[in-house]
Amino acid sequence: MSTLASGIRLKDGRRRYNTGTPDLLLDAAEYLFSRMDYESTTLADIAKQANANVGQIVYHFGTKEELLRACILRRAVILSQQRMKLLESYQQLVGRQGMQIEPLIRAYMDPFFALVLGEDDQGRDYARLLARFVWRENATEIIAEGFNEAAMLYIDSFRQALPGLDEDSVARGFQFMLGTIYSSVAGDKRIELLTDGVSKARDYQAYYDVLVPFVTAGFTRMAEHKP
Amino acid sequence: MSTLASGIRLKDGRRRYNTGTPDLLLDAAEYLFSRMDYESTTLADIAKQANANVGQIVYHFGTKEELLRACILRRAVILSQQRMKLLESYQQLVGRQGMQIEPLIRAYMDPFFALVLGEDDQGRDYARLLARFVWRENATEIIAEGFNEAAMLYIDSFRQALPGLDEDSVARGFQFMLGTIYSSVAGDKRIELLTDGVSKARDYQAYYDVLVPFVTAGFTRMAEHKP
DNA sequence: GTCTATACGGCGATAGAC
DNA sequence: GTCTATCGCCGTATAGAC
């Protein structure tokens, strides 16, 4: 169906977009879904944004829901590959017995925050879209398809790094971690209201800086309390 | 408009439901919104569930979005009152200088988990609806109206319990806490796929048991790392 | 103040022409 | 592979009955 994320980064830094209709439609959908709600974005909006026709969307993706699914999975594949590559590198560096929890947490988060903190607005769009998508009913199947392989490898590694912590607790901690990650980018401007403007909602670097110690400590404490 | 959550608990344990049309419609909406998506629930579905007419919904609430808003705020008021009452009790018990972070975290979480773990299915419905609602675009205003007063009191108390932690970090940690709480009930059956069925998605007690130490440790570590 | 009946407009989806 | 015409459903607005 579609090929790559949103074009291939060339040596000179410029981007080479896939000019095929499906990828152009996915670019438009990604852009609009992240700025509006999925529901309030119409197929006509997407078609117009892509200089295309509603019929073309239906032809290439079938339904609006399938378009969203393709939109999520397009970058999910890349994210998961990056996570698995980082995990493999770390394992080869310190050995399977030598893994610690904090580097593992960083390895899992970093590809996502590379999108969030990067200069590419489209990457940020996707991150925000994903963060709001994961909590939807019926998202589980798509998320599982795109992310579970890497997630299960990490959960296994977390257990290695935290001996004495049962599988159930690690999995719940993992879900807490996901909750914190996504709340960083999905949680609109509420934090600005709560702090009278002291905290900036779009200061994602500030989230990342406190997120790693927060989650690391959470897992560590869980391991101590479960003998 | 509407009066109370979903009836008043009587001394003998039975419930006295408000028989007014608005509350009956809200009950139906709460039930359906939590089991389907907001979008895939139609006004006709809600009207049928409440033995009412679509016109009645429009008359009492105006729009579907306003119905959702009323649905969220109905119990939000109660939740926030409980949280503020618990906070006040704790403050009077140990004094403003003597507050510790873990009891504060429990005080904030407990009213929500009372709904999640209680015998009332409607309470659980609401908790799940809320957990998925908060991440929606444009939810911020409604959430702020229902929850910010209590949240700001708790953030202030968190700062008292964690001296040396700046307001920005406390607010971000607070958002992480919200992320973990909501991920406990919003995160469908993915955890079962990730653990090959070892962890049960609906075992909310298991979430609560590890959630408190997880978040407590997170805040504590943040305070240590920010001198 | 409540409720009912009806009509309108927008959207996603389908079928079929080109 | 692309586009157009059309259908059916849903949220909303309005007018009027009780």
| SS3 of chain B | CCCCCCCEECCCCCEECCCCHHHHHHHHHHHHHHHCCCCCCCHHHHHHHCCCCHHHHHHHHCCHHHHHHHHHHHHHHHHHHHHHHHHHHHHHHHCCCCCCHHHHHHHHHHHHHHHHHCCCHHHHHHHHHHHHHCCCCCCHHHHHHHHHHHHHHHHHHHHHHCCCCCHHHHHHHHHHHHHHHHHHHHCCCHHHHHCCCCCCCCCHHHHHHHHHHHHHHHHHHHHHHCC
Alpha carbon of A1: minimum distance to chain B alpha carbons (Å): 26
Q: Which nucleotides of D are covered by protein (CB under 7 A)?
A: 1-5, 9-15
Q: Is the CB of A32 under 7 A from strand C?
A: no
In this prediction, residue B2 carries a pLDDT of: 40
Q: Is the CB of B46 under 7 A from strand D?
A: no
In this prediction, residue A164 carries a pLDDT of: 86
In this prediction, residue A204 carries a pLDDT of: 98
What average pLDDT does this structure show over A53-78? Answer: 96
Q: Name the band, by pLDDT with cuts 50, 70 and 90, for residue B196.
A: very high
Question: Which B residues, 40 through 99, put their C-beta within 8 Å of a C-beta on chain A?
Answer: none
**Structure tokens given for A86:** 């980082």
Q: Is the pLDDT of residue A207 over 90?
A: yes
Given a contact cutoff of 8 angstroms between Cβ atoms, the answer to whether B87 and B109 are in contact is: no
Q: Is the pLDDT of residue B106 over 70?
A: yes
Partner-chain contact A206 B172, CB within 8 Å: yes
Q: Is the pLDDT of residue B13 over 90?
A: no
Residues of B with CB below 8 A from A181's CB? 179
Q: Is the pLDDT of residue B6 over 60?
A: no
CA of B217 to C1' of D12 (A): 50
Question: What are the tens digits of pLDDT across the range A155-196?
Answer: 999 999 999 899 999 999 999 999 999 999 998 899 999 999
Q: Is the CB of A42 under 7 A from strand C?
A: yes
- CA-wise closest residue to A146 among B180, B190, B136: B190
Q: Name the band, by pLDDT with cuts 50, 70 and 90, for residue A225.
A: confident
**B167 inside 8 A of chain A by CB:** yes
Choice among A69-83, B1-15, B22-36 with the minimum mean pLDDT? B1-15
**Structure tokens given for A66:** 């399938």
Alpha carbon of B16: minimum distance to chain A alpha carbons (Å): 32
Mean pLDDT for chain A? 91
pTM for the model stands at 0.93
**Domains, in order of start, for chain B:** 8-225 (1.10.357.10)
**In DSSP terms, which residues pair with A9 in a beta bridge?**
A15
- CA-wise closest residue to A191 among B225, B140, B87: B140
Alpha carbon of A90: minimum distance to chain B alpha carbons (Å): 22
Partner-chain contact A213 B225, CB within 8 Å: yes
Q: Which nucleotides of C are covered by protein (CB under 7 A)?
A: 2-6, 10-16
Question: Which A residues, 106 through 165, put their C-beta within 8 Å of a C-beta on chain B?
Answer: 131-132, 134-140, 143-144, 148, 151-152, 155
Q: Is the CB of A56 under 7 A from strand D?
A: yes
Q: Name the band, by pLDDT with cuts 50, 70 and 90, for residue B8.
A: very low
Q: Name the band, by pLDDT with cuts 50, 70 and 90, for residue A14.
A: very low
Question: What are the tens digits of pLDDT across the range B114-155?
Answer: 999 999 999 999 999 999 999 998 899 999 999 999 999 999
